[in-house]
Structure 1
Amino acid sequence: MTIAIGDTLPSASFKEKTVDGPVETSTDALFKGKKVVLFAVPGAFTPTCTLNHLPGYLDNREALLAKGVDDIAVIAVNDWHVMGAWATQTGGLGKIHFLADWDGSYTKSLGLDADLSAGGLGVRSKRYSMLVEDGVVKSLDIEESPGQATVSAADAMLAKL
């Protein structure tokens, strides 16, 4: 079953690279008492994710924060080393959270997993964005195709805010 507007995000912990090194962070630490934009990509370093989806959130970070967003996070079914390298290479380290769902278990718990084996990726995440307030999903936009970043793009989220 796919998570829906009005649902509370399930609890989990993630490992992410920070400017101070790797840290464990929890859904409570990320979402409790905050308004957070969470977006997901099928994979770090993949073309649409790296050239289109992530740059929109990095470029619009200040505009999103100005609209009352407390934090921004991206999640992918990759290990924290890959997510950390992606954060560093794209200039996103320290600007947004790069959450590693290394085995896809969190993505599966949301019902947002996708079998992208035909493209050589295996089981990954659907591309989506959501606005989360105090752990509750307030909006959820899922792309029909993993190669698109339109309804889940930063400008679409800005328009909602």
Structure 2
Amino acid sequence: MTIQIGDQIPEVVLKRIREGVESVDTPTLFEARKVVLFAVPGAFTPTCSEKHLPGFIERFEDFRNRGIEVICMAVNDPFVMQAWGRTLDAPEGLQLVSDGNADLTRALGLEMDASGYGMGIRAKRFALYAENGVVRELFVEAPGEFKVSSADYVLEHLPA
């Protein structure tokens, strides 16, 4: 079942690279803060690299000025996520996290089967806004679309 507005973010462990590879659980990422989590089907894929992450990079300070942290997630390993962030000059503070086994993606009910493209299980393209670990807004793209999970759209639809 897909996560809904009002639901708590499931407790799952993700990976990220800072000083080295670290495990970080979702309560650490979401509790006591405002967070936009957006997910892409894959780092270095066309729409993800040309539009989705670049939009959040461009609007990063607008989110920060509203007290909102930004996290990008993909079903890729943490080394790929780190390299992708460096390639696109992601600012310090915009976290790129790895859901390498699609644990959070599945727990959210937002997985898709991209086996036909040789990519296995991936995250649907989506964004969500959470306050203190509770989903307040959810923006899930239709297959092949890129509209409602863009940085501009999300910013326009967040509570003032």
- What range describes the TM-score normalised by the shorter chain of this pair? over 0.9
Q: Secondary structure at the match of 1:73?
A: strand
Q: Give % identity.
A: 42
How many Å apart are 1:93 and its aligned residue? 5.6
Q: Secondary structure at the match of 1:39?
A: strand
Q: Secondary structure at the match of 1:149?
A: coil
TM-score between both structures, scaled by the size of structure 2: 0.94
TM-score between both structures, scaled by the size of structure 1: 0.93
- Could you report, residue by residue, the CA deviation over 1:112-141 in whole angstroms, capped at 9, with x for unpaired residues? 000112222221000000001000000001
The match for 2:26 is 27
Q: Secondary structure at the match of 1:84?
A: helix
Between the aligned partners of 2:86 and 2:13, the Cα distance in structure 1 is 21
Structure 1 portions without partners, runs of 5+: none
- Could you report, residue by residue, the CA deviation over 1:45-97 in whole angstroms, capped at 9, with x for unpaired residues? 0000010000000000001112231x100111011111111111111162311
Between the aligned partners of 2:66 and 2:33, the Cα distance in structure 1 is 13
User: Which 4+ residue blocks in structure 1 deviate beyond 3 angstroms?
Assistant: none
One-letter amino acid of the structure 1 residue matched with residue 131 of structure 2: E
- Could you report, residue by residue, the CA deviation over 1:31-53 in whole angstroms, capped at 9, with x for unpaired residues? 11100000000001000001000
CA contact (8 A) 1:84 1:93 kept: no
The match for 1:76 is 74
